[in-house]
Every structure is written in structure tokens, then in C-alpha cells.
A and B are shown apart, each in its own frame.
Chain A
Amino acid sequence: DAMVIQNPRYQVTQFGKPVTLSCSQTLNHNVMYWYQQKSSQAPKLLFHYYDKDFNNEADTPDNFQSRRPNTSFCFLDIRSPGLGDAAMYLCATSRGGTVTQYFGPGTRLTVL
């Protein structure tokens, strides 16, 4: 089945230790998104790739970076995680910009 896959499902890191979360998709969608969702809150868009074009949200901290080496994969790098970065990180894809988004299962990040 075509899907959006996120690894790992659970990630524990130490304060200040860089961490990378990964997302892959078999849907062949050209747009990939990263959202941050804190407990009891709505998902918040961090950035997205439209094809190879990177689009950063204005309020996304510089601590968060992303890479998309090819259509299928997208990575979220947190350079120096703080306690406030503990959250669920959700990857989504879509065919085009304003159509149905499909979400992966998420990676729950814990920062010690």
C-alpha cells in the first residue's frame, strides 16, 4: 500500500544533542511537510518542500532544518534540541499545494 513512513516512531535525545528524524513516501507526491505538535495542541507547520523548493514558516526557529535529497525522502534536523522541542513530529505529503494531505504515524521526540 502506498503510504507515508516515519522513523523512528520514538526518539529520545539529550539536551543539545543533534537529532534527525526521517520521512519517506511511496505516494510519489511532490510536496512534503513537517509539522510539530505539542501535547493537546494543533499541529503547527514548520516548513514544506514543493518539489525541490524549500518553504520555511516565518516563526520556525533556526534550530530546525530540513533536507529533501529526492522525491521520496525528507529529513528534519534539530541542531540543538531544547526541552521545549519535545513534541510529536508529523510528516505529510500531497500532490500539489492545496489538496489532500496524507500524514505519517509521527515521531514522538523526548528531550532529556
Chain B
Amino acid sequence: GIQVEQSPPDLILQEGANSTLRCNFSDSVNNLQWFHQNPWGQLINLFYIPSGTKQNGRLSATTVATERYSLLYISSSQTTDSGVYFCAAAPPTGKSTFGDGTTLTVKP
């Protein structure tokens, strides 16, 4: 199956800083999602982005499908951005596989 690797595993920021989270995948995908898992465990959809660039407020994401990676940008981070960020990728005829996540801590 497809392999999904996320980096860094842990990230600590001061409030107001910017960050970039990376997701590498081992095969062609036609589905890539970024999620934020809040402290209560719910996975919140951030982006569905198998290719291209999208922006939503302080968050944006870019997927370069030909080079098999996706980036999630968080600008002007806030303490409420803390949590685990997962990417999940699926090849054209396969299931979604989650990466191991990046744990983000934003300090006030």
C-alpha cells in the first residue's frame, strides 16, 4: 500500500509564528486530505487537496502531485491551533492511509 510520512513529528511555536508541515507519499494519489485533531479527539477537515493550492484564512495547503508531497502552512499561529495535524492520502484504486501526524504546540 501507499506510504505516508509526515514531518516534523513535533513542533513547538510561539503565538504569532508561522509554520510549514510536510506530507510525503510514495505513490500517485487522487485523494489527499489534511485534518486537525482537536484535544477531544475529533478530526476536523482542513483541506481536500489532491493537487494545487488552497487557502482558508490563516491556513493554506499546496500539493505537488508529480513530486509526491503536500505542505500545510499555518500563519500567525494561535494557541487554538495546537493539536495533531494528519494528512491522509489515497491512490486511485485504494483506501486512504494516514501519516503519523505532526503534534503542534503553540505557546502564548
Contact = CB atoms under 8 A, between A and B. Distances in A.
Contacts of A43: 43, 86, 98
Given A45-B96, A105-B42, 8 more contacts: A43-B43, A44-B98, A45-B95, A92-B43, A98-B92, A98-B96, A99-B48, A100-B45
Contacts of A44: 98
Given A45-B95, A98-B31, A98-B90, A105 B40 contact: yes
B56 to A, nearest CB: 14
Interface residues on A, range: 20 to 34
A48 B86 CA distance: 20
A7 to B, nearest CB: 14
A66 B69 CA distance: 34
Interface residues of B, number: 21
18 contacts: A42-B98, A42-B100, A42-B101, A43-B98, A44-B98, A48-B95, A57-B95, A90-B43, A98-B90, A98-B92, A99-B31, A99-B48, A101-B88, A101-B96, A102-B45, A103-B43, A104-B42, A105-B42
A29 B40 CA distance: 24
A57 B30 CA distance: 20
Contacts of A86: none
B37 to A, nearest CB: 9
